[in-house]
Structure 1
Amino acid sequence: MDAFIHGFLLAFGLILPMGIQNIFIFNQGLTQSSYKKALPAIITASVCDTVLIIIAVSFLHLIADFFESVQGILMIGGFFFLLYIGWSIWHSSVTGNEATPPVPAKKQIIFALSVSLLNPHALLDTIGVLGTNSLPYHNEAKWLFMIAAIIVSWLYFFLLGFIGKVVGQLSENIGWRKRFNQASALMIWGLAFYMLFLI
């Protein structure tokens, strides 16, 4: 159980900061007409995290070597990708008295795949932190560590989408939503330039 607790607490600490993936999930809960309609983004992000965690814990050395060889390309690609995501969120801000239409399911899935798999920081967290912290564990302990991290991802994304829905229902103020979208976009652009600085 030490491995399970370690994996749970470590994964929770990694997923808690409001990065691009979390902002996107929260935004879907906030803007969709019902919680059910935000599920494509929530489930896609959860599945992507599950796959990344399994790969990081099971094949750390292989994925680390590959990531090191393409890290610069991923960082540059991630920079332009974050600029685009920020632009999309900024322009999805409500205008006038009408809100822009919620993101349809297909686009939610594509965006969730992108923010999960093309985000170098998410990859670094999964490989560099979860992967390396799993090294002392073997057999059942390694499985428990991995399962705990996966449980955290699923619980957190479902909860984050739900909180977004509750906040959206409590505040129908269009000006507030517009300011939230703009603040989210600015945060994502900040992450993009920080990533460029790290190259």
Structure 2
Amino acid sequence: MFQPLIHGFLLALGLILPLGAQNVFVFNQGANHKSITKSLPVIITAGLCDTLLILLAIIGVSVILLSMPVLQITIYCIGLLFLLYMAWSLWRARPDTLQTYRPMSAKKQIGFALSVSLLNPHAIMDTIGVIGTSGAVYEGTEKIIFTLSTIIVSWIWFVFLAVAGKMVGSIDKTGKYIMILNKCSSVIILIVAMMILKQLLAILL
């Protein structure tokens, strides 16, 4: 029982650590809000989305879905549009002071978190290709332990990102660093969007 636990833990940690649109957005929202409770919508949404993707990968449903070329193209197109809109929104955010800056509403946090989680082809492919295939070697209780291990790592990581963002945001009294963070986040998300565009063109051409 110890092997699937460690396997799931290390695997999930290795997949979730790289800087991607989802991680950047969760960190950004932690930094942009005065209290961590205001960032709960993005933490919970990202956690639930990863949980859903992991469960689908373990069950094998996601493999069947992505075997359909039309569905793959649709996911890539919608994901690209959402990422471009998010990059544009973050770039335009210009807080003069923390008092006058209005962070994202809970509704907007949820919408953006859904887009970078469920409409991110990289995240979907990683979940299916790595977690799904790795989980296939286990059966019964061991598969449950493996699955729970990967899910727990995901949730802990999102909480950590939001808290780390909050710590960075708390030392910024003028809003200057948050503005820089927003622009850096925008650039990173734009790079991810361009990578998705390249993959989309490869499929279409």
TM-score, normalising length: structure 2:
0.90
State how 1:75-90 maps to structure 2 within 5 Å. Answer: 75-90=76-91
Q: Deviations over 1:93-141 (max 9, x none)?
A: 3247865301111221222122211111111111111101111111111
The answer to whether the aligner puts 1:160 opposite 2:161 as a matched pair is yes
Q: Against the structure 1 CA distance between its residues 98 and 36, is the aligned structure 2 distance closer, same or farther, given a 3 Å change threshold?
A: closer
In structure 1, list runs of 5 or more residues that go unmatched: none
TM-score, normalising length: structure 1:
0.93
Q: Against the structure 1 CA distance between its residues 123 and 193, is the aligned structure 2 distance closer, same or farther, given a 3 Å change threshold?
A: same
Is the Cα contact below 8 Å between 1:45 and 1:157 reproduced in 2? yes
Q: Match of 2:118?
A: 117
Q: Match of 1:50?
A: 51
The answer to whether the aligner puts 1:137 opposite 2:138 as a matched pair is yes
Q: Match of 1:195?
A: 196
Is the Cα contact below 8 Å between 1:93 and 1:99 reproduced in 2? no
Tell me, in whole angstroms, the C-alpha distance in 1 between the residues paired with 2:133 and 2:11: 12
Is the Cα contact below 8 Å between 1:56 and 1:63 reproduced in 2? yes
Is the Cα contact below 8 Å between 1:49 and 1:150 reproduced in 2? yes
Q: Match of 1:184?
A: 185
Tell me, in whole angstroms, the C-alpha distance in 1 between the residues paired with 2:123 and 2:174: 32
Q: Match of 1:27?
A: 28
Percent identity (aligned): 44
Tell me, in whole angstroms, the C-alpha distance in 2 between the residues paired with 1:7 and 1:79: 30
Tell me, in whole angstroms, the C-alpha distance in 1 between the residues paired with 2:176 and 2:42: 25
The answer to whether the aligner puts 1:14 opposite 2:40 as a matched pair is no
Tell me, in whole angstroms, the C-alpha distance in 2 between the residues paired with 1:98 and 1:92: 14
Tell me, in whole angstroms, the C-alpha distance in 1 between the residues paired with 2:98 and 2:170: 17
Tell me, in whole angstroms, the C-alpha distance in 1 between the residues paired with 2:171 and 2:64: 47
Opposite residue 190 of structure 1, the aligned amino acid is I
Corresponding pairs, count: 197
Is the Cα contact below 8 Å between 2:55 and 2:147 reproduced in 1? yes
